[in-house]
Structure 1
């Protein structure tokens, strides 16, 4: 006799759902899904410029605070801002002007020398400050999020403020030596703008190098001293190269030396005895070209390593 199979009284239950099998997703897809971004990632160049502009008040306040604190422990305080370059000029006058006789044939040698020392010190101090801008501020870099270019810019702004203090003493020296104010003194403004742009770009280059190679700060004083001797701080380059082949490499290098160009522009603006014939050809074009090359090139070079500062 055949058996009839009856259906079960209750339908079979479906198996309980288990964990979904893991499927590996691309990290970029996951980041896009949850709105995640890389911490400290380098922004685009236009965005970086906007961030830097938004922090302009921080930059100026930081520069002023550093300048005020620089001589806070000294009894003479901020007087050293003027006294230090004046003492340097006095030493150079004694050694080069008197012992080596570089003052012979140079009209108004003391204003000539003091102007050169002040302008050169602006570039020298900006470069040295830029070298330590990142490596000397690691606590600030690691603690706060801001465009790192604010640091070398603020250090150069600090040096510009110090130069303006020194210029007050320079004006007194010019008047004491019978050099009256003239309309040509207005040329100080574009000359300083170009030099500040050049110094800032150079400081950014050195800031990136110094952030990864701190030993560069030990080498820079020797390089800067060599550069100073080639820049006509203590002597007249036009007198030194008189009679030389104008197409020679040495003459061309001295003519195109940016530090010498900015020093001579300042002398030309302030001193009646410093004539246009002592300036290299197309001097303003050279000054603007160096400012554009160092300013834009240094800024881009620094920006490209933005995400690496303070790490490692």
Structure 2
């Protein structure tokens, strides 16, 4: 029972004033952005462990295991080469079309896999969210780290393909690592945006295949984007050239392929790629943080 003097002192105060007076905080309140960032760093080992577990489990039931990390994009490359390269002859005028196509597919698959996983990062882990206390951003970040490991394995195979098709080793190959980092930051932000959207609109995962397929056709994966832009007005052509996935694909092609034709000069591509990474990476993190207290509540 409260002491009469304390009760008299507290009389007339609002609930918020009483809570502040006695050092009480709202349960489940969203931390500040700075505190949330520090908390995410504190839980980095949890994030890495979860990402590694997802990587192992994703191929655990397949007989060839992690070999499917590279078999899947290689199979897609073979199918698309047959349809677009030979039947539709989009290889005409594109030097080393096999390597050109493989670079586009491998780079696009990195973002596509993160986008699909990010969409279900919250909605697919509701029981864990309700049972454990951790910053929810760990989940879309873990999706990005899982697919980044897959992408590193795919790039090793991609290098073999590039060499096998006659491309020389140049100093520009060193640009692959920073290009991968910039795309990973972009992907992490995209995963967070889609994770928050997917937490409320669970049907979003049904739309993602159509969204990603449309995005692929506008990203110069299967053919030079200039062929696509020839039938568009200048304004839409500029939009196509500003497509972040086209930019990241061209950064990899510029690094690995000697005679590739770019839609913009390489320095401009780097500025645009870094700009997209900062915009989507930082913006996606803030957007996800603002919904932190809502995740897992149904």
Q: Same fold (TM over 0.5)?
A: yes
- Check whether the contact 2:193–2:284 (CA below 8 A) recurs between aligned residues: yes
RMSD value over aligned CA atoms?
A: 2.0
Corresponding residue for 2:274?
288
Residue 233 of structure 1 and its aligned partner are, at CA, apart by: 0.3
Q: What's the TM-score, normalizing by structure 2?
A: 0.92
Matched, 1:266 2:231: no
Tell me the SS of whatever aligns to 1:39: coil
Corresponding residue for 2:28?
40
Equivalent residue in structure 1 for 2:190, among 176, 192, 202: 202
Query: Within 2, Cα distance between the matches of 1:278 and 1:225?
Result: 24
- Check whether the contact 2:189–2:285 (CA below 8 A) recurs between aligned residues: yes
Of structures 1 and 2, the larger Rg is shown by 1
Tell me the SS of whatever aligns to 1:167: helix
Corresponding residue for 1:61?
49
Matched, 1:149 2:137: yes
Aligned residue-pair number = 292
Q: Which ranges in structure 2 are unaligned for 5 or more consecutive residues?
A: none
- Check whether the contact 2:251–2:266 (CA below 8 A) recurs between aligned residues: no
CA distance 1:201–1:116, change in 2 (3 Å): same
Corresponding residue for 1:217?
205
Residue 63 of structure 1 and its aligned partner are, at CA, apart by: 0.9
Matched, 1:253 2:249: no
Corresponding residue for 1:303?
289
Query: Within 1, Cα distance between the matches of 2:44 and 2:224?
Result: 39
- Check whether the contact 1:238–1:278 (CA below 8 A) recurs between aligned residues: no
Corresponding residue for 2:39?
51
Query: Within 2, Cα distance between the matches of 1:214 and 1:24?
Result: 45
Give 1 or 2: higher helix fraction.
2
Corresponding residue for 1:138?
126
**Which region of structure 1 is more displaced relative to structure 2, 53-62 or 270-279?**
270-279
CA deviation profile, 1:241-261 (whole Å, cap 9, x unmatched):
46x78x811210111010000
Query: Within 1, Cα distance between the matches of 2:134 and 2:263?
Result: 47
- Check whether the contact 2:168–2:258 (CA below 8 A) recurs between aligned residues: no
Query: Within 2, Cα distance between the matches of 1:34 and 1:94?
Result: 71
Matched, 1:75 2:66: no
CA deviation profile, 1:32-70 (whole Å, cap 9, x unmatched):
344332222100000000000111111122111111110
Q: What's the TM-score, normalizing by structure 1?
A: 0.88
Residue 275 of structure 1 and its aligned partner are, at CA, apart by: 4.5
